[in-house]
């Protein structure tokens, strides 16, 4: 059994219900829910739209990384997720509104780099809406493969220069 850390986000419909439904489906499909962050209301990132509700959840799973990704994508689709980020011809991501977005942030302490999946999530330490809930769960723990805590990363990106 492996511990996996997932980020959940939603900015359409009944956002709290979307998060709760996603967590229930995840528990049914991938494994036991172990830890849950607070829910954060955050502005959309990468595009202008409705605010998101974001949350991070830790699960224990017997699924392989590829099987986990497949289950996550099935759950997103079942909840009404239309498209993942689409890339223009100039390779710049286009972000869109979504009923649910589920990202695999961490899979145990493994580093995974395939055409389908990159873990740790490549933007994990750049996004405040991911770091704040991670700090709820891990406080000042250093989680491999990182060499400092998520709180340290959060402090770095939250600094305001005067």
- One-character DSSP codes across the chain: -EEEEEEEEE-SSSHHHHHHHHHHHHHHHTEEEEEEPPPEEE--SSS-SSPEEEEEEEEEE---HHHHHHHHHHHHHHTT-----EE-TT--EE----S-EEEEEEETT--EE-SS-EES-TTTTT-HHHHHHHHHHHTT---TT-SS-HHHHHHHHH----
CA distance 44 to 63: 31
Nearest to 23 by CA among 70, 137, 34: 34
Q: Please identify every residue annotated as catalytic.
A: 81, 98, 101, 103
């Amino acid at each position: 059994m492996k511990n996996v850390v997932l980020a959940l986000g939603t900015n359409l419909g009944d956002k709290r219900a979307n998060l709760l439904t996603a967590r229930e489906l995840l528990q049914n499909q991938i494994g036991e829910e172990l830890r849950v962050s607070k829910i954060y209301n955050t502005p959309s990132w990468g595009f202008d739209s409705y605010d998101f509700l974001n949350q991070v959840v830790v699960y224990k799973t017997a699924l392989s990384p590829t099987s986990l990704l497949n289950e996550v994508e099935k759950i997103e689709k079942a909840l009404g997720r239309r498209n993942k980020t689409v890339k223009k011809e100039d390779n710049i991501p286009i972000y869109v509104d979504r009923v649910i977005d589920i990202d695999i942030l961490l899979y145990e302490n493994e580093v995974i780099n395939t055409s389908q999946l990159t873990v740790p999530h490549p933007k994990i330490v750049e996004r405040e809406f991911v770091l704040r809930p991670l700090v709820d769960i891990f406080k000042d723990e250093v989680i491999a493969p990182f060499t400092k805590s998520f709180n340290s990363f959060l402090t770095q990106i939250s600094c305001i220069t005067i």
